Homo-oligomer: A and B are copies of this chain.
């Protein structure tokens, strides 16, 4: 079932997530006043792995990394942009979806990680609209098939050319025996609200749906004759721009390259370090070294060096690096070092500038990075020790973990002050998980009085026993017990089935309500992961392997 690792192109051995428009091979980003255009023009030869060509604007992870980067840059570097047009640079095709040969030859782990990242990118498109009023319009001339249509589904407005051949389709099931798993099924039912039986017809019709029927079935927002396309697109862009509240006079900041040094056992960034050992990754985040700037203008001046933004970007990169490149890691351990008051001072600074576009973008970025942490299939642990600064935004890292251990008092020969947690307003709303609840609200599902009790303690340093009594940490331990307890836990964790833990954590982390987003990562993704294991898809005679071979797949006809 193709579980041997594929070779990367150009001698690469790791997936890298940093890029910038000057290095894009697959997208062209142009900005014209308040309208940006993202032109998809995939370089056939620009694949991330060997063994396939990216024909017909099909994509692999490398293509999506560029898209994710472009959306981030539009948010930070071009705050005046109000509308993004997604278009194809190729004739007769918008996008053919995920590259099938790439999928067929990928390991199971890569398929799953690929889907997760691309889903996060599409959620990011929607977040740009919801949180930043950066509206997206998808202009489909030609075919938008599978992942191509799923990309369209993540935009605010889908325009389809009415030329007798341009169509949208989700042919994954009939062609490949897999699901439209990049949010496709969920967005069809829950965002576009296509009637379930019409959705069934649509998802089993290889050639898809075109013209007026696509509008009637709610698959696209409008069809436009080819002759009127450019005028109508310009008109729509104008309308959406007029409705956007993005600032008109803001000057963006430059998202400079991250400062990262790979070390023998991990990596050092400017605000955090990653240490790998014994199948554990320890991420130590460092609190700010200086007070927050005096004004919003000063924050803009600091740009990408502004501590909360720098840390968010570096943490994002570190998490993605572990996800894709360190599969053998059983657990991610979060530690922190710094002054809790300083961390909270930055949170207060952002609170008091919440109307400022950059403060809003930074908060929204943190929200997305924290969601990525939630969705990372590694055991997450917080070790809260003397000298740490799990306060405000950084306390969210502790609340994102499966378990937290907090040391009572100080350690002999250690000058650091006793560990404390410190809550701030930011812990009670601005960073919802994919289930729509804050991490503390998810934690205290049983009794909202627990949440109120925690809220009443905001801004106070909460030492271990108090934090445990409030239910904010799992265990408060003194120095005598600490070493053995933590070691035994981590050893035990590493001894469990990695798959079992993935399933366990995917369930326990997301109690309570579900949203479209959480449905995508649970219902849809979990079924897709199941199918990605089934011989009917990935076996030697399965559809994914036989696609394009001229041989029909041979299915086990038993329904499970």
Chain A interface (Cβ within 8 Å of chain B)? Answer: 108-109, 112-113, 172-174, 176-179, 185-186, 188-190, 192-201, 203-204, 218, 279, 327-330, 377-378, 401-404, 442-447, 471, 474, 492-494, 496-514, 519, 522-524, 526-531, 533-534, 536-537, 542-543, 553, 555-560
Contact = CB atoms under 8 A, between A and B. Distances in A.
A218 B511 CA distance: 15
16 contacts: A109-B560, A113-B560, A174-B492, A179-B504, A194-B446, A195-B443, A196-B508, A200-B402, A201-B474, A377-B560, A378-B559, A500-B536, A503-B527, A522-B527, A526-B526, A533-B533
Contacts of A172: 500
B179 A503 contact: yes
Nearest to A542: B497
A208 to B, nearest CB: 15
A559 B504 contact: no
B536 A526 contact: no
Contact of A189 (B445, B528, B543): B445
A512 B190 contact: yes
Contacts of A507: 179, 185-186, 189, 523-524, 527
Contacts of A474: 197-198, 200-201
Given A474-B201, A523-B507, A177 B559 contact: no
Contact of A560 (B190, B493, B498): B498
B496 A204 contact: yes
A109 B558 contact: yes
A536 B497 contact: yes
**Most chain B beta-carbon neighbours within 10 Å: one of A329, A496, A513, A523:** A523
A330 B557 contact: yes
B524 A530 contact: no
A277 to B, nearest CB: 14
Nearest to A536: B497
Contacts of A329: 559
Contacts of A177: 496-497, 499-500
Given A109-B558, A497-B536, A557-B328, A526 B530 contact: yes
Contacts of A509: 196
B377 A559 contact: yes
**Most chain B beta-carbon neighbours within 10 Å: one of A112, A194, A497, A514:** A497
Contacts of A109: 558-560
Nearest to A533: B533
Given A179-B503, A530-B530, A531-B500, A508 B199 contact: yes
**Most chain B beta-carbon neighbours within 10 Å: one of A193, A501, A503, A522:** A503
A112 B218 CA distance: 34
A193 B497 contact: no
B197 A558 contact: no
A109 B190 CA distance: 29
Nearest to A378: B559
B530 A503 contact: yes
Contacts of A505: 200
A380 to B, nearest CB: 10
Contacts of A511: 189-190, 193, 196
**Most chain B beta-carbon neighbours within 10 Å: one of A203, A522, A531, A537:** A531
A499 B536 contact: yes
A114 to B, nearest CB: 12
A173 B501 contact: yes
Given A279-B557, A446-B195, A509-B196, A500 B189 contact: no
A145 to B, nearest CB: 16
User: Which 3 pairs, one residue from A and one from B, show the smallest C-beta to C-beta distance?
Assistant: A526-B526, A177-B497, A189-B511
A20 B526 CA distance: 38
A558 B328 contact: yes
A403 B199 CA distance: 10
Contacts of A178: 500
A343 B443 CA distance: 49
A518 to B, nearest CB: 8
A302 to B, nearest CB: 36
Contacts of A174: 492, 496
B330 A559 contact: yes
Given A199-B508, A523-B507, A530-B530, A559 B327 contact: yes
A504 B203 contact: yes
A50 B335 CA distance: 52
Contact of A403 (B201, B445, B504): B201
Nearest to A506: B527
Nearest to A543: B497
A553 B530 CA distance: 22
A112 B194 CA distance: 29
